[in-house]
């Protein structure tokens, strides 16, 4: 469970002040779309934007879970599968016609939901690799392509990557590495409009569904030991970084991978 005091501190850092010149409370409200926004990192990001005063739309496949999450933070829920082009196209009429910030968070290691494939079962190997590429790369590519014409000038695109892109993890790591390469191209494509595109790559983040209950205490200990600050990351750590990249202050940061892992991997 996320700490209320921690989430408040994140959003307050990026809350836009009222226009005191006119003596009126005029706040420029942005429209933010967060895929995979029902749980974990996506939900923390969506909540932080909502608390900062933005209009937030969260998406995901599990409609009931998504609706409950949206109600808790005052967001709008739009249920669809971000990795399915037909599903994305069908959802477009329900998505905002103007988008200031897109956070591509949908994804995860699909291997956790599949049985092991023998090396000589090529069809099964291909299926496992394509599943991770679809969930982590194509979900971001499809939603971004679908909404690109709706991006405002100076919009922000932030995609959630992973330390696995630099340290391995088979098809999942490869998919997240592909996200980094795609983001570099996207930054060039959207740059002339003042739109930035960046990746936030977390290390170990606790209190999410990511590991499906498979992470052992020893696994956590080893990953924490690899950090410079001696702790696991939190969803709030990632949300704070996403909010900065979505801010006006980050207008000259684009095509970058921002590592949020306590120094477990040094991005240099």
Active site residues: 172
Check the CA dihedral 180-209-144-252 and report its sign: negative
What stretches of the chain adopt beta strand conformation (E)? 31-35, 55-60, 76-79, 99-104, 151-160, 196-202, 257-260
The pair of structure tokens assigned to 44 is: 């923390």
Q: Which DSSP string do the residues of 143-177 spell out, in sequence order? A: HHHHHGGGEEEEEEEEEE--THHHH--HHHHHHHH
With b for 16 or more beta-carbon neighbours within 10 A and e for fewer, the 44-75 pattern comes to bbbbbbbbbebbbbbbbbeeeebbebbeebeb
**What are 201's strand-pairing partners?**
259
What's the CA dihedral at 166, 168, 169, 173 to 10 degrees? Answer: 40
Residue 82 zone, left/alpha/beta (φ > 0; ψ -120 to 50; rest):
alpha
Q: Tell me phi and psi for residue 88, to 5 degrees.
A: -65, -45
Please give the Cα distance from 197 to 212 (Å, whole number): 30
**How many other C-beta atoms are found inside a 10 Å radius of the C-beta of residue 135?**
23
């Amino acid at each position: 469970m996320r700490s209320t005091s921690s989430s408040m501190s994140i959003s307050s850092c990026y809350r836009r002040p009222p226009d005191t010149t006119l003596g009126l409370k005029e706040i420029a409200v942005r429209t933010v779309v967060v895929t995979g926004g029902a749980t974990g990192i996506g939900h923390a990001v969506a909540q932080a934007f909502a608390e900062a005063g933005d209009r937030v739309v969260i998406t995901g496949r599990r409609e009931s879970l998504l609706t409950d999450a949206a109600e808790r933070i005052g967001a709008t829920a739009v249920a669809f599968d971000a990795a399915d082009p037909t599903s994305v196209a069908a959802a477009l009429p329900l998505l905002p016609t103007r988008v200031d910030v897109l956070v591509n968070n949908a994804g995860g290691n699909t291997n956790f939901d599949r049985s092991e494939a023998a090396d000589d079962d090529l069809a099964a190997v291909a299926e496992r690799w394509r599943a991770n590429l679809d969930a982590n790369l194509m979900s971001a590519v499809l939603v971004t392509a679908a909404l690109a014409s709706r991006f405002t000038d100076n919009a922000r695109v932030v995609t959630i990557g992973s330390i696995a892109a630099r340290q391995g993890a088979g098809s999942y790591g490869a998919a997240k590495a592909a996200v980094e390469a795609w983001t570099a191209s996207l930054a060039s494509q959207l740059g002339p409009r003042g739109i930035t595109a960046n990746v936030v790559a977390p290390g170990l983040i606790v209190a999410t569904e990511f590991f499906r209950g498979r992470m052992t205490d020893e696994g956590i200990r080893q990953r924490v030991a690899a950090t410079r600050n001696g702790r696991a990351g939190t969803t709030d750590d990632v949300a704070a970084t996403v909010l900065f990249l979505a801010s006006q202050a980050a207008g000259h940061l684009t095509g970058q991978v921002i590592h949020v892992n306590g120094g477990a991997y040094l991005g240099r």
